């Protein structure tokens, strides 16, 4: 499948490059001793694919799971100022940089996957297909066969560790509904303040009360809020935030 691989490996090794095979991209920390290195300045993964099942088209959730595990693994061995470079076919990433537009649900949602490793999308670059092709590169492995796939319009996504000084190339937006039992003295402003305190800096927040319910037995009041978060600084898991908000409300007089 890769007729020129042996010559390429020999050339690399003759120039002092370590070449290793059978690397599991989801458990990179296990190879630190093999490479005799504590952290990597750059980790590159070109056109990953969850290929279990051979010619059977795999669920897109499996590709996302692969990416999330890869990002988590990368973060554990990445230098403080290191970068992760991930190449995807056009339309797979689900970012505004894609040259082929798909519905977001039909993409790999690469920004959300990177959040699993606390990584931000710093930049997106065209995959240098023409330059690599001139050097003999050709894609292969479509459906685990000696067939090419469309990498010509691919994109290289550059990720870096989350930091308050780093801004993501694209903001990420989440929306969730949350129900809270609140006391008679509650206000939307008070609930919003709790969200903002927990989320920290770098987030835009919109909070809208959409429904309410009163328990006929206890007379307690429940309110349902629709919350929209937007950030290009950090990608704190929304479900963690929701849990923290509920705990904070429980400890406050809003519940009384």
Q: Which residues of 149-160 are buried (b: 16+ CB within 10 A; e: fewer)?
A: eebeebbbbbbb
Q: What is the pLDDT of residues 6-29, one digit of tens each?
A: 888 999 999 999 898 889 999 999
Which CATH number applies to 172-255: 3.30.70.380, 3.40.50.2300, 1.10.1370.30, 3.40.50.720?
A: 3.30.70.380
Confidence of residue 148 (pLDDT cuts 50, 70, 90): very low
| Averaged pLDDT, 193-214 | 85
Inform me whether the pLDDT recorded for 109 exceeds 90.
yes
Percent of the chain with pLDDT over 70: 82
State pLDDT tens for residues 25-39: 999 998 877 888 889
Query: For residue 150, what pLDDT band results from cuts at 50, 70 and 90?
Result: low
Strand order in the sheet with 221-231: 172-182, 221-231, 203-214
Q: Where are the domains of the chain?
A: 5-161, 172-255
Section 83-94 average pLDDT = 94
The DSSP symbol for 70 reads H
Instruction: Kindly report, residue by residue over 208-231, the tens digit of the pLDDT.
Output: 999 999 989 888 889 999 988 888
For residue 194, the model assigns a pLDDT of 84
The CATH topology of domain 5-161 is Rossmann fold (3.40.50)
**Residue 180 near residue 222, CB atoms below 8 Å:** yes
**Mean pLDDT of the residues in the chain:** 83
**Quick check: 79 pLDDT over 90?**
yes
Locus of tokens 């059977």: 56
The edge-to-edge listing of strands for the beta sheet with 119-126 is 40-46, 78-88, 155-161, 119-126
pLDDT score for 120 = 93
Report whether 74 contacts 30 (CB < 8 A): no
Could you report the per-residue pLDDT of 59-75, keeping only the tens digit for each?
Answer: 889 999 999 999 999 99
CA distance 250 to 125: 47
Report helix, strand or coil for 190: helix
Share above pLDDT 90 across residues of the chain, in percent, rounded to a whole number: 35
Predicted confidence band at 5 (pLDDT cuts at 50, 70, 90)? confident
Reduce the DSSP state of residue 76 to 3 states and report it: helix
In sequence order, what are the beta bridge partners of 181? 222
């Amino acid at each position: 499948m890769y007729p020129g691989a042996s010559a390429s490996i020999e050339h690399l090794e003759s120039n002092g490059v370590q070449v290793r095979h059978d690397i599991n991209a989801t458990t990179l920390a296990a190879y630190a001793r093999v490479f005799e290195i504590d952290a990597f300045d750059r980790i590159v993964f070109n056109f990953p694919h969850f290929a279990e099942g051979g010619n059977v088209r795999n669920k897109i959730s499996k590709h996302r799971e692969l990416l999330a595990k890869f990002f988590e693994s990368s973060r554990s061995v990445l230098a403080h100022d290191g970068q992760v470079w991930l190449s995807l076919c056009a339309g797979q990433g689900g970012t505004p940089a894609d040259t082929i537009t798909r519905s977001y649900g039909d993409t790999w949602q690469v920004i959300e996957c990177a959040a699993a490793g606390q990584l931000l999308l710093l930049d997106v670059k065209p995959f240098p297909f023409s330059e690599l092709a001139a050097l003999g590169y050709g894609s292969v492995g479509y459906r685990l066969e000696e067939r090419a796939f469309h990498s010509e319009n691919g994109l290289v996504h550059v990720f870096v560790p989350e930091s308050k000084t780093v801004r993501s190339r694209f903001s990420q937006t989440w929306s969730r509904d949350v129900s809270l039992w609140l006391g008679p003295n509650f206000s939307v402003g008070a609930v919003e303040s709790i969200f903002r305190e927990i989320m920290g800096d770098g987030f835009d927040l919109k909070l809208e009360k959409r429904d309410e319910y009163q328990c006929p037995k206890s007379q307690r009041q429940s309110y349902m809020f629709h919350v929209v978060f937007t950030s290009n600084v950090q990608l704190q898991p929304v479900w963690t935030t929701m849990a923290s908000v509920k705990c904070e409300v429980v400890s406050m007089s809003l519940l009384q």
